[in-house]
């Protein structure tokens, strides 16, 4: 009989307890070793990734590449974040995205590379299939989204039109009407009622009405005193916002969302429908108008009418869809760019009142040269309308707008794709299919390009003996360069100078105290929270003071 209490049994049981204990200890030790090993690998990977960051600009993590740094960058000011990396990497770095994404690209701010890709090797760096695919739903085959023949044909026609006297007359007349009949009354009303207004919103309405008149010959009436919501304008804005989202997600993700009509893709579909309906209606009406003999004599000179009179390679009139693409592209090109540039300009002026004073002094000096104003007597500045030749003479204002665009370019980054293996002048090797981002915002903040004072707002850097001197398009890339240089550059300067001078002569634009100012992540560099301002009527005596100062130097 076994005595359960026998010492032998006790011994046996204590032995198995001991074994359990030892095996538990061993397991624990194994666990510890696994944890230690895991920690060692983690430390090694971290040190390796961070070390790579020293050479490559950012830490490179297994599988994720540089994505964690990008996510951190997106949470602060993305453009400043890119500029910091570029500064550390002497102007060019290779962004390594996660292995499952399409985010791999070369980012550069080196003017030598810019000249190479925009001019010298233009044909090797088209917009490319990735960009065209991502933008196709909104821009179709319009000029912004086209390469090769399709682009060349539109560029040639639009270029002839943009340089024609008839077109220049249309743009100056429509601008004059919009500034004097809409913009100034809206600002005057706000000033009289002492209410703050979002200047960015007002300027967007101004340029939207203007570009619709130029592209379609149709006035959408956005800048009405009640500031109404225009369905077409709203649809257009929503469509651009939803399109941008495609650039920050892997292609397969937005394509799946599009297939199932989800999230931003659902919003994009609805808003594009709104844009298309408006454009279709305009084209239908114009076709009807042109088919009537009497109306033919009306001689419209907007872009839509010009393209309607042309034919494709087969001698056929352009399809409605293609005409629609042309108009939508011109609206995108001409609307946001000038208005956001003016918004940053007025914000910078508010921080630099001495520069505002110099602009006012220049304006007064120029109008003081009018025959009827030689004695320095301006009866009522409210009535004054600037003449085109006066706008041309405003060199200091031109320099100040260029300086604002250098620091806050309306298109902060742009994109190309390499279609043949190549090497940048700085030695970066480019394989066929590589995406290239050129960081226009960062270029304005590089000491190597603009000197130690590159972050300061200094219009004087653009002047020689008081005259405006332009810079190389590969150093100042706000308007792009080479064969795809902005077609509307001259018109944009005229529009910005006319609107800015008309406002500055009448009002001091004061940004509301503590109004938050930050750039928005979008195709164009909007101010994220708009620009809330108060308008203070300029004292006539202030203008008289400048009018009476003869031969005052502005430098």
Tokens of 302: 């907007």
Phi, psi of 229 (to 5 degrees): -85, 120
Question: Minimum CB separation from ligand HEM for residue 390, in Å?
Answer: 20
Among 56, 402, 428, 480, binds ligand HEM (CB under 6 A): 480
Counting contacts by CB under 6 A, is residue 384 touching ligand HEM?
Answer: no
Question: Among residues 200 and 410, whose Cβ is nearest to ligand HEM?
Answer: 410
Counting contacts by CB under 6 A, is residue 492 touching ligand HEM?
Answer: yes
The single residue listed with the structure tokens 């609805």 is 270
Residue by residue, DSSP assigns 31-64 as: HHHHHHHHHHHHHHHHHHHHHHHHHHSS--BTTT
Cβ 134 vs Cβ 243: under 8 Å = yes
133: Cβ–Cβ under 8 A, 6 or more apart, which residues?
Answer: 251
Residue by residue, DSSP assigns 370-385 as: SGGGTTS--S-GGG--
* Strand partners of residue 480: none
Counting contacts by CB under 6 A, is residue 86 touching ligand HEM?
Answer: no
Q: Which of 112, 83, 87 shows the shortest CA–CA distance to 474?
A: 112
Size of the site for ligand HEM (CB under 6 A): 25
Tokens of 121: 């090797």
Among 187, 213, 341, 503, binds ligand HEM (CB under 6 A): 341
CA distance 502 to 529: 25
- Tell me whether residue 486 is annotated as binding: yes
Tell me which residues in 184-213 interact with ligand HEM (CB under 6 A). 211
Counting contacts by CB under 6 A, is residue 444 touching ligand HEM?
Answer: no
Question: Minimum CB separation from ligand HEM for residue 261, in Å?
Answer: 29
Question: Minimum CB separation from ligand HEM for residue 415, in Å?
Answer: 7
Q: Which of 427, 328, 399 shows the shortest CA–CA distance to 554?
A: 399
Among 56, 108, 134, 338, binds ligand HEM (CB under 6 A): 338
Among 326, 411, 449, 523, binds ligand HEM (CB under 6 A): 411
Question: Among residues 70 and 203, whose Cβ is nearest to ligand HEM?
Answer: 203
Question: Minimum CB separation from ligand HEM for residue 363, in Å?
Answer: 20
Question: Minimum CB separation from ligand HEM for residue 494, in Å?
Answer: 9
CA distance 555 to 537: 26
Determine the distance from the C-alpha atom of residue 44 to the mean position of all C-alpha atoms in its chain, rounded to a whole number.
41
Q: Near ligand HEM by CB under 6 A, which window of 15-23, 116-124, 217-225, 334-342?
A: 334-342
CA distance 35 to 29: 10
Cβ 491 vs Cβ 171: under 8 Å = yes
Counting contacts by CB under 6 A, is residue 82 touching ligand HEM?
Answer: no
Among 86, 187, 333, 523, binds ligand HEM (CB under 6 A): 333
Question: Among residues 148 and 369, whose Cβ is nearest to ligand HEM?
Answer: 148
- Indicate the annotated binding residues for heme: 486
Binding site for ligand HEM (CB under 6 A): 143-144, 155, 158, 211, 214, 330, 333-334, 337-338, 341, 405, 410-411, 414, 478-480, 484, 486-488, 491-492
């Amino acid at each position: 009989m076994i005595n359960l209490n026998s010492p032998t049994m006790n011994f046996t049981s204590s032995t198995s307890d001991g074994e359990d204990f030892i095996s538990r200890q061993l397991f624990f030790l194994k666990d510890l070793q696994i944890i230690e090993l895991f920690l060692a690998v983690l430390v090694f990977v971290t040190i390796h990734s961070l070390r790579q960051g020293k050479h490559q600009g950012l830490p490179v993590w297994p599988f994720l590449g540089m994505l964690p740094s990008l996510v951190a960058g997106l949470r602060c000011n993305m453009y400043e974040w890119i500029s910091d990396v570029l500064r550390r990497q002497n102007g060019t770095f290779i962004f390594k995205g996660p292995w499952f994404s399409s985010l791999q690209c070369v980012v550069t701010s080196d003017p030598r590379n810019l000249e190479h890709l925009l001019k010298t090797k233009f044909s090797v760096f088209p917009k490319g299939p990735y960009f065209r695919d991502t933008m196709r739903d909104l821009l179709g085959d319009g000029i912004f989204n086209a390469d090769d023949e399709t682009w060349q044909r539109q560029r040639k026609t639009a270029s002839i039109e943009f340089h024609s006297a008839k077109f220049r007359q249309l743009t100056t007349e429509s601008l004059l009407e919009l500034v004097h009949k809409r913009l100034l009354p809206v600002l005057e009303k706000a000033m009289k009622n002492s209410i703050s207004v979002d200047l960015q919103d007002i300027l967007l309405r101004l340029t939207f009405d203007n570009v619709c008149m130029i592209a379609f010959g149709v006035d959408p009436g956005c800048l009405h005193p009640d500031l109404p919501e225009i369905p077409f304008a709203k649809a257009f804005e929503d469509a651009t916002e939803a399109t941008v989202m495609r650039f920050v997600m892997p292609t397969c993700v937005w394509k799946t969302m599009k297939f199932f009509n989800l999230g931003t893709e659902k919003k994009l579909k609805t808003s594009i429908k709104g844009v298309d309906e408006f454009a279709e209606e305009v084209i239908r009406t114009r076709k009807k108008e042109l088919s009537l003999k009497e109306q033919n004599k009306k001689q419209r000179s907007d872009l839509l009418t010009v393209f309607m009179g042309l034919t494709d390679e087969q001698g056929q009139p352009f399809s409605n869809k293609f005409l629609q693409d042309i108009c939508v592209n011109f609206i995108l090109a001409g609307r946001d760019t000038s208005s956001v540039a003016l918004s940053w300009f007025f914000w910078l002026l508010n921080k630099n009142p001495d520069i505002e004073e110099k602009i006012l002094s220049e304006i007064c000096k120029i109008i003081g040269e009018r025959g009827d104003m030689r004695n320095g007597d301006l009866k009522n500045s409210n009535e004054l309308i600037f003449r085109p030749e006066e706008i041309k003479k405003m060199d200091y204002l031109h320099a100040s707008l260029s300086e604002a665009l250098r620091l806050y370019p309306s298109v902060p980054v742009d994109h190309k794709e390499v279609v043949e293996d190549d090497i940048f002048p700085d030695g970066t090797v480019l394989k066929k299919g590589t995406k290239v981002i050129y960081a226009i915002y960062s270029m304005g903040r590089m000491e190597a390009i603009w000197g130690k004072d590159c972050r300061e707002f200094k219009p004087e850097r653009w002047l020689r003996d008081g005259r405006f001197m332009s810079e190389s398009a590969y150093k100042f890339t706000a308007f792009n360069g080479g064969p795809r240089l902005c077609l509307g550059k001259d018109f944009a300067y005229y529009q910005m100078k006319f609107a800015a001078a008309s406002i500055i002569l009448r009002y001091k634009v004061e940004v509301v105290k503590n109004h938050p100012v930050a750039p928005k992540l979008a195709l164009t560099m909007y101010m994220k929270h708009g620009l809330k301002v108060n308008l203070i009527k300029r004292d006539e005596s202030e203008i008289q003071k400048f009018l009476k100062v003869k031969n005052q130097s502005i430098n």
